[in-house]
Structure 1
Amino acid sequence: AWTAGAAAQDLPRTQLKVIGLQSHLNSHKSGEIPFWNERVPNESKGQVTARLTAQDIHGLKGPEILRLMRLGVIDFASGVLSYMAGDNAEFEAIDLPGMSPNMATTKRISEAYKPVLNEIMEKTYGVKLLMLFPSPPQVFWCQVPLKGADDLKGKKVRVFNKAMSDMVSGLGSTAVTMPFGEVTPSLERKVIDCAITGTLSGNTSKLFEVTSHMYTMYMGWSMHFHGASLSSWNALDPKVRDFLTKQFDWFNDRLWKVVAEEEQDGIDCSIGKDPCKYGYKGKMTLVNPSEVHLAKQKEILQKAILPDWGKRCGKACSEKFNQTIGKILSISIDASKL
């Protein structure tokens, strides 16, 4: 790790414009804010500083982040990877629902696919990919009682990407795509019966006030990226680039550790169990998926989600998936049918 010392004195004065994650997220509050507002200035002896603003404070919803970076409007930014899937299906690859049951697997998948994503970001958006990190796992927050996946049949469920929509449809529900900001009012108005979001992000936005049952069939990890506009990055002094690269290595490790804590904390807080470190205490009923329903989820992944994603992504993209993520998980897409 970088240690502030004589080298920090040599850094030229640099101020960066940074767009962070949504303001309610713990990764923003206990991750990005102390990193940009405290660690970076401290480690650089005050030479490198940042103006950090959360996406929603800027009036941004997320899908437009990479396009704004391509235009040079934003220097550094974080975003939800699968929000970009409307532009390019490859952004969904590391977070297809039903693919990763735990954080260790998610990390292996991310590391295997990061070079592919970096190439897309550089070529299409002029963005250098600096970090990939998860949210806590995405679960069902329902305002209707349920005992398992069978009770989701016929229910309207909020999703936020195409693969998640396919999984929800496979379980017999109606998928409703909407940004996070619309979830609470939609639950209040009973436009939807359930919403899929993270264990802690749902808790810190107090979804337990408008839902009663949490169903922990993991539907992905809402992978985040942090990147820099290549033009902004290349314009930095090489010493500053080197300094920031070391800082991002430290920050990425820290974010994975924090999210590992958040995974269980969001569940514990929502059902009113101690310890509740990051969130608010609710009184929800916890429903864990049975082995039968987890097997059903895997079947939907193999028979519906992977072939459908392969069609959206194309033959070359599917072959890249097979060589990277596919090898780790022993799954594959039949590229001959594309």
Structure 2
Amino acid sequence: MFCNKEISGLEDLRGLRVRVGDQSAANFIGQLGATGISMPFGDVQQALSRGVVDCGITGPASANAGGWPEATTTVLPIALQLAINGYAINLDTWNRLDETQQSQLETAIAELSDDIWSYSEALYEDAMRCNAGESPCEFGNQYALTEVAVSDADLAAVTAAVEEVSLPLWATQCNNVAADCEATWRETVGAQLGL
């Protein structure tokens, strides 16, 4: 969460306008007392500069590359979104591979996954240092944002918003596609996450 107003936590978002990427995120932000404004990433830096929005949500490396720290003063490093990537192969194609090829492909994908996680973590840490004006700053531009510590109250607010807004809205959409979607998710992924 990058803001051009001084904030000490999510409670300070009440009444502020927050750039989000989509309507689901806008609903989530609404639960926190702010107004979510959907806006393309490329428009955010100027909107922050002009006061059209008070805050914006993105990852620290994306914010750095987009120049958001030029128009903000504070960063709250709390995860409010997530992206999922996956690799798939057609079963007929898979079955045409011999056991050695299947094993090599599985090994390569596992190594790629490990490399992506390692790189993502290093990029995140570097971008946070760059945004706060700390060294080393290897991949981005140095700025001087104030980094606000994430509190237990912030984490509780996110949990409540996920349970009260995000999951119910998602479940409705998912159940419209497959009637047992929510039930299956809750029995599997939801059970693993304690949701």
Q: What band does the TM-score fall into relative to the shorter chain?
A: 0.7 to 0.9
CA distance in 2, matches of 1:306, 1:221: 14
Cα deviation, residue 226, structure 1: 5.5
- Structure 2 residue 189 is the aligned partner of structure 1 residue 325: yes
TM-score for the superposition, normalised by structure 2:
0.83
- Structure 2 residue 148 is the aligned partner of structure 1 residue 284: no
Which AA in structure 1 matches 2:52? V
Task: Tell me the equivalent position of 1:269.
Answer: 130
Task: Tell me the equivalent position of 1:191.
Answer: 52
Which AA in structure 2 matches 1:327? A
State how 1:76-115 maps to structure 2 within 5 Å: none
- Structure 2 residue 7 is the aligned partner of structure 1 residue 146: yes
Checking the alignment, whether the CA contact within 8 Å between 2:80 and 2:158 is kept in structure 1 is no
- Structure 1 residues 284 and 154 mapped into 2: Cα distance closer, same or farther (>3 Å)? same
CA distance in 2, matches of 1:251, 1:216: 26
Structure 1, gaps ≥5 residues long: 1-139, 332-338
Checking the alignment, whether the CA contact within 8 Å between 2:16 and 2:55 is kept in structure 1 is yes
- Structure 1 residues 224 and 180 mapped into 2: Cα distance closer, same or farther (>3 Å)? farther
Q: How many percent of aligned residue pairs carry the same amino acid?
A: 27
Whose helix fraction is larger, Structure 1's or Structure 2's?
2
Cα deviation, residue 284, structure 1: 0.4
- Structure 1 residues 227 and 191 mapped into 2: Cα distance closer, same or farther (>3 Å)? farther
TM-score for the superposition, normalised by structure 1:
0.50
1:177-215 C-alpha deviation (Å, 9 max, x unpaired): 122222222223322111100022211222111211101
Report the 3-state secondary structure (helix = DSSP H, G, I; strand = E; otherwise coil) of the residue aligned with 1:157.
strand
Which AA in structure 1 matches 2:128? I
Structure 2, gaps ≥5 residues long: none
- For the aligned residues, what is the CA RMSD? 2.4
1:211-242 C-alpha deviation (Å, 9 max, x unpaired): 111012220233344567x6xx95xx958x85
CA distance in 2, matches of 1:183, 1:225: 28
CA distance in 2, matches of 1:294, 1:247: 36
CA distance in 2, matches of 1:216, 1:202: 12
CA distance in 1, matches of 2:123, 2:189: 25
Task: Tell me the equivalent position of 2:69.
Answer: 208
Cα deviation, residue 323, structure 1: 2.3
Checking the alignment, whether the CA contact within 8 Å between 1:198 and 1:221 is kept in structure 2 is no
Task: Tell me the equivalent position of 1:14.
Answer: none
Cα deviation, residue 162, structure 1: 3.5
Task: Tell me the equivalent position of 1:167.
Answer: 28
Report the 3-state secondary structure (helix = DSSP H, G, I; strand = E; otherwise coil) of the residue aligned with 2:110.
helix
Q: How many residues are matched?
A: 186
Task: Tell me the equivalent position of 2:121.
Answer: 260
Whose strand fraction is larger, Structure 1's or Structure 2's?
1
Task: Tell me the equivalent position of 1:298.
Answer: 159
- Which is further off, 211-220 or 184-193? 184-193
CA distance in 1, matches of 2:107, 2:133: 39
CA distance in 2, matches of 1:313, 1:292: 30
